Chain A
Amino acid sequence: MSDFATVLPFPARALPVPAEALHLRSMRGEASDEELMLRYGRGDARAFELLYRRHRLPLYRFLLRQLGNAESAEELFQDLWMRVVNSRGRYQPRAKFTSWVYAIAHNRLMDFYRVNGRASFLSQEESESVLEDLPAVEIAADLRLDRKRAAKRLLAALGELPDAQREAFLLQQESEMSIEEIAAATGVGPETAKSRLRYAVAKLRASLGKES
């Protein structure tokens, strides 16, 4: 039984750790996430601090933008890291640490949605056919110049997205996950993950291209 099985409600799909990422980190003389987690499992609290420093902001942003509420985001954020801390002895690097930790975050979000009656996340409203109909929108020229305003509008549009699509987009932006990794972390097939991502990107582009 892998560590994913302890945090995921669906069968675990082992994802190989990308060799490029490991190579880059080793070239920079940095320990990989998986190595740090293993070191922490052996009692090295400093390794956890490094790991936390690496992932705290992306994870917090992911949760905050999914929930839209700083208080709930902090609560889930703390709970998420406590789970990481408590799983230190069982952790095995069969997949990327990022995939593992975002899978935990996904599960915590699902629990939160269930408790708070947000069932929209669970519906499968998007499909490939819908995606194919979406037109490719160019970002407005004035927004290209005013990046701050563009960012503000992007965040507003992000809040309008369905939870699943927003999650796919955030996972790609914050954790730099591939489609497969997003699929594994969210417990869906790669096709579904891909369609969610495409749909989210199309909608966001459309929101940025309306005003000119």
Chain B
Amino acid sequence: MSERRDEELSHIYRDAEGPRPAQRVDDNIVAASQRVAGNVRRPAAFAFSRRWGTPVALAATVLVTFTLALMVFERESGLDTLAPKAPRGGRTPKVSPAAPVRAEQPAKSPPVEARAEPSAKTPSPELRSAAPAPATPSPRAPAPLERAKPPTVETALSSERRATGQPARLPEVPRGVEILRKSEELKPAPAGASPGANVRAGAIAPQPPVPDAQRVFDAQQQIRPAQAPAAAPAPGANVVRESASTLQGAGVGAAIGSRFVVPEAKERTPEKWLEDIRKLKTEGKTIEAERELGEFKKRYPDYILPEDLR
């Protein structure tokens, strides 16, 4: 069905003035349409961030995750893979002033060392059960120094074992030594204990840590008969004594001593040390205070000194 338009009427109708909706009505409608469509025009920066925000966030997440994983891996491998690496001979001892001595000594008496090693690492089952965890760090020592120390012991022992053909057992030696040191503190050593060892140690290694190490092995000697008097025969004790002296001669004692039997000044907490330096200063001992401060700075290079000591 079609109906022709009355063109004459249509022309007249179109000539009539055309009313328009108010501008605010137009604005309301267009704004509502844009709001509903979610297509409101946004600044270029927003468009840029909208476009690149997700890729950048993803990249940052991957980077952070990778870095963290790498750090954890490095930390774990840095501590744990040192022992397997040392026997291969690829590493040179970092902090072992007695290294040349050790290189010569093992060749002289390898069987004694082979026998001595178990005594050094495990004094007795009772002591082992009572011993603290070997890796427990000293709460007073700063982290960088703690991390720097293990290679010293490890290289000394591993080079020792390398010479004897023994597998490296790094954690066990410190454990025994720690236990011995503790037992030494509990039970004072008799004055005449192992004089021969002392003499030999003094002859071979006159460095300050050597007597400490000797004390350790002497204490070991004292504990051993007390713990198992019937089981340990007299020749065994001699063997242990000999092995201790051999190890001492090889510089292991020095290495152990440098690691576990630290000098008194280094056992102090940094705060205590600084307090002592302050005391020296107040007492007018400027030179000593300066020297102490210099040692302190060497030992704790990262420590932020108080204002009065800078």
* Chain A residues proximal to chain B, CB less than 8 Å: 40, 43-46, 48-49, 52, 56-57, 60-61, 64, 70, 73-74, 77-78, 81-82, 85-86, 88, 139, 143, 147-148, 150-152, 154-155, 172-173, 178-180, 190-191, 194, 197-198, 201, 204-205, 208
Contacts and interface: CB of A to CB of B under 8 A. Distances in A.
A197 B30 CA distance: 34
Pairs A-B, 10 closest by C-beta atoms: A45-B39, A151-B16, A45-B37, A151-B15, A48-B33, A45-B34, A81-B29, A147-B15, A60-B21, A150-B12
A180 B20 contact: no
A172 B5 contact: yes
B15 to A, nearest CB: 4
A48 B29 CA distance: 10
Contacts of B14: 173
B239 to A, nearest CB: 89
Given A45-B39, A77-B21, A179-B2, A40 B33 contact: yes
A154 to B, nearest CB: 5
A57 B14 CA distance: 12
A57 B20 contact: yes
Interface in B179-208: none
Nearest to B34: A45
B18 interface: yes
A60 to B, nearest CB: 5
A61 B26 CA distance: 14
A138 B270 CA distance: 116
A108 B83 CA distance: 88
B32 interface: yes
Contacts of A86: 36
Contact of A44 (B2, B10, B25, B39): B39
A201 B6 contact: yes
A74 B25 contact: yes
Contacts of B17: 151
Contacts, number: 100
B3 A52 contact: no
A173 to B, nearest CB: 5
Contact of B37 (A82, A88, A154, A197): A88
Contacts of A205: 6, 9
Interface residues of B, number: 33
Given A60-B19, A154-B9, A178-B3, 5 more contacts: A43-B37, A45-B37, A74-B21, A172-B5, A190-B1
B48 interface: no
A51 B15 CA distance: 24
Contact of B22 (A44, A74, A154, A201): A74
Contacts of B40: 45
A198 B32 CA distance: 39
B19 A64 contact: yes
B38 interface: yes
A45 B3 contact: no
B13 interface: yes
Contacts of A191: 1
A154 B13 contact: yes
A113 B267 CA distance: 99
Interface in B63-98: none
A85 to B, nearest CB: 5
A165 to B, nearest CB: 13
A154 B10 contact: no
A58 to B, nearest CB: 9
Given A78-B25, A204-B9, A154 B16 contact: yes
Contact of A173 (B8, B10, B26, B28): B10
Contacts of B2: 178-179
Contacts of A46: 39
B62 to A, nearest CB: 32
A74 B26 CA distance: 10
A151 B12 contact: yes
Contacts of B10: 173
A86 B37 CA distance: 10
A194 B25 contact: no
